[in-house]
Amino acid sequence: MKYHGRYPIFDPSCIRTYPLATRQNKVRWTGLTHPRDVLAAEPAPAEVREAVAPIAQAVRRARANGWPVVLFTGAHVLKNGFGPLIIDWMRRGVITLYAVNTAGTIHDFELALIGETSEHVPNVLGRGEFGMAYEFCYINEAIREGNRRALGYGESLSRMIADDEFRETVLARVWRAGAPRAFAHPEISVLNASAESGVPVTAHAVIGGDVIDQHPSFDGEAKGGTSARDFLIFVEHIRGFRQGGVLINMGSAVIGPEVFLKSVSMVCNAGDVLSSNLVTADFDIRPYQPQAMTDERHFGYYFRDQKSVVTRIPQAFGGRGYYAQGDQLVTFPELFRQVTG
């Protein structure tokens, strides 16, 4: 990346990497949660079932009417092993778009490539090894190639996994002896399922917030360009809420709520008003205090997920916002069970 400004700049060419397969990880493909696991397990506690029930009902109603259902998550939903549930929803047509931060795509990519993800940060940070696996250059080169082809970030990584021609184009530039040329577990990848099902995956990026940004291969223009296209794909999808629809935000404290808020503003500015059939739902572990949403002196006012997703946006259109408090290890399987079972 060229720089001709006046300030000192770090030279990433001095970064040292190591083979991804040698890294110690906390999550393995054998521990992921599959639909059969959820449907065979005991239901969640009564208070969770009651909180989730109207959201599940709204999802079923939306799809019965042909309205969009958008799932926006943070990275932990994939890190916690719920990719197979999202894949199932894609194949069934339960969700019409899956949005995630770019950290989530990295977890999904690692699981597809080697069947493992989530390094133990305290063990490697002091050695300067956190996030320094060589194969992250696969991601950077994939989005660089995607940017050349004017693709979005999600589609670029989907093609890296599912499209032989695209993958070989990328590997021709970055592969080295001993590194994998094939994805060991594409069947557990949400990105791969997007290519198969046609359900978009949009990735919403920050610069400097992901391990791929640490690498000599990092291209900020490619990351920004491909993610910007994903943002516009997301905005266009929100236009579909003119008759009704459901937006579920799970574990994204800032990026999901803010992307949704700006998308709604753009859609309305373009002349499209969202329907009163709009239903939004936020899943998080923090308590929700509705009275804090208008009190700038209360710390709860600054919880963007609660203020934008649950309160401001649905209220602006006469829709309905829900908050499901609890550990997503409990709440997401219960939502899956009630929607799918």
Provide DSSP, 175-186. Answer: --TTS-SS-S-G
Provide DSSP, 231-270. Answer: HHHHHHHHGGGGS-EEEEEES-SSHHHHHHHHHHHHHHHT
Locus of tokens 């109603």? 61
Q: In the chain, what percentage of residues exceed pLDDT 90? A: 82
pLDDT one-digit tens code per residue, 161-187: 999 999 999 999 999 999 999 999 999
pLDDT band, residue 296 (cuts 50/70/90) = confident
pLDDT band, residue 288 (cuts 50/70/90) = confident
pLDDT band, residue 122 (cuts 50/70/90) = confident
Check pLDDT > 90 for residue 202: yes
pTM: 0.95
pLDDT one-digit tens code per residue, 234-249: 999 999 999 999 999 9
Among 7-16, 132-141, 186-195, the minimum mean pLDDT is found in 7-16
Please give the pLDDT value at position 302. 80
The domains found in the chain, sorted by start residue, are 16-30+44-340 (3.40.50.10690)
Check pLDDT > 90 for residue 251: yes
Q: Which H helix or E strand runs over 104?
A: helix 102-114
- What whole-number distance in Å separates Cα of residue 45 and Cα of residue 38? 14
Three-state secondary-structure class, residue 22? helix
Check pLDDT > 90 for residue 115: yes
Check pLDDT > 80 for residue 60: yes
Q: Which residue has the higher pLDDT, 113 or 298?
A: 113
Q: Please give the mean pLDDT across all residues of the chain.
A: 95
Check pLDDT > 80 for residue 1: no
